[in-house]
Chain A
Amino acid sequence: MRRLVALILLSMLLPLQAGADEANVQGFDSLQEEQRYRDLTSELRCPKCQNQNIADSNAPIAKDMRDRVYRMMQDGASNEDIVGALVDRFGEFVRYKPEVDRRTILLWATPAIAVGVGLLAVAGIVIRSRRRNGQKTVLTAEEQARADRLLSDKDRE
């Protein structure tokens, strides 16, 4: 009996925990909207706590930014509008994924350039070693005979 009471009491605590989540507090019309809110706030960076996204950060400015995201969503803004509105105010910095433009092209292209240079280096090494091997396989008749002799000697042993 006592166990049952404890279980009931515990189960009453469960919804309290779920309710502590801010997204639930704010309320969304659908699960998709809530997911969209989570995605947006997790890919926007807090300008105050620079290594946190605005979903994680407790900074007052992160809260203001979350509120703005939420309000713009309620007003029917698209993801680009929302991110754009925050970038206009806080700068490109708030994007965890910066747009490709003149300033960021090197950032985006560096992995491709590194892979390209690596491939070129590997190709160079392979081609050169092939060429060297090709030269080596050409033996004079005398060398060939000597090689055959040595190899057959070895077989006999």
Chain B
Amino acid sequence: MKRVFLFAPLVLVVVLGIVLFAGIGKDPTRLESALIGKQVPAFTLEDLDKPGKQLDAGVFRGQVSLLNVWGTWCPACRDEHDALLWLAQEQGVRIIGLNYKDNREEALVWLDRLGDPYELTIYDPRGTLGFDLGVYGAPETYVIDANGVVRYRHVGVVNEKVWKEDLEPLVNQYREDAS
């Protein structure tokens, strides 16, 4: 019986080791969105391309979309732009843009020059919808199902790898659910 207790420190070290090892390689700056499983927050904001045209959360109804938060002030958004174009044009993904804390002229020049992957872009110069979504660093990309429910958030640049590993399986799953 006493011998068993001699192994206690060993067991303790092994358990602690497993717990700490599990934490290695996890990026602590990636936070799960608080909105997973909830509706996209209500908003009324202008369309970036068509000043005066009001958009609301209804734009997410009917089909699975990606919501991509971007701004011309955000260098990482430039990095992912080509991947977004590829997604929209080659993969047939519906992407809604959220132009976050930006100004309209610069944003329109950016889309004109680099190409426009967005079916439509919500213009949020004061970051109100961004705040309600809990955006803390652009770029962020949300998977939103056909009922307008937030299913996943990716913080950081979207590229082919992120699409294949994280986003595509979810998009396909919710497309099946919708049909």
Decide if A64 touches B134 in the complex (CB within 8 Å). Answer: no
Q: Chain B residues with Cβ under 8 A from A116's Cβ?
A: none
Decide if A89 touches B34 in the complex (CB within 8 Å). Answer: yes
Decide if B29 touches A50 in the complex (CB within 8 Å). Answer: yes
Q: Chain B residues with Cβ under 8 A from A90's Cβ?
A: 31, 34, 134, 136
| Nearest CB in chain B to that of A91: its residue | B34
A113 at the interface (CB under 8 A from B): no
Total A-B contacts with CB atoms under 8 angstroms apart: 34
Contact bitstring A30-53, B, C-beta under 8 A = 1, else 0: 000000000000000001101000
Interface residues contributed by chain B, number (CB under 8 Å)? 16
Contact bitstring A95-116, B, C-beta under 8 A = 1, else 0: 0000000000000000000000
Does more than half of chain B's interface fall in helix, strand or loop, or is it mixed?
loop
Does more than half of chain A's interface fall in helix, strand or loop, or is it mixed?
helix
| Nearest CB in chain B to that of A47: its residue | B136
Which of A28-87 touch B at CB < 8 Å? Answer: 47-48, 50, 59-61, 64, 68, 87
Q: Chain A residues with Cβ under 8 A from B33's Cβ?
A: 91
Decide if A48 touches B137 in the complex (CB within 8 Å). Answer: yes
CA distance in complex: A144, B33 (Å): 77
Q: Chain A residues with Cβ under 8 A from B28's Cβ?
A: 50
Q: Chain A residues with Cβ under 8 A from B29's Cβ?
A: 50
CA distance in complex: A136, B131 (Å): 73
CA distance in complex: A74, B116 (Å): 41
Decide if B34 touches A48 in the complex (CB within 8 Å). Answer: no
Interface, chain B (partner A; CB < 8 A): 28-29, 31-35, 101, 127, 131-137
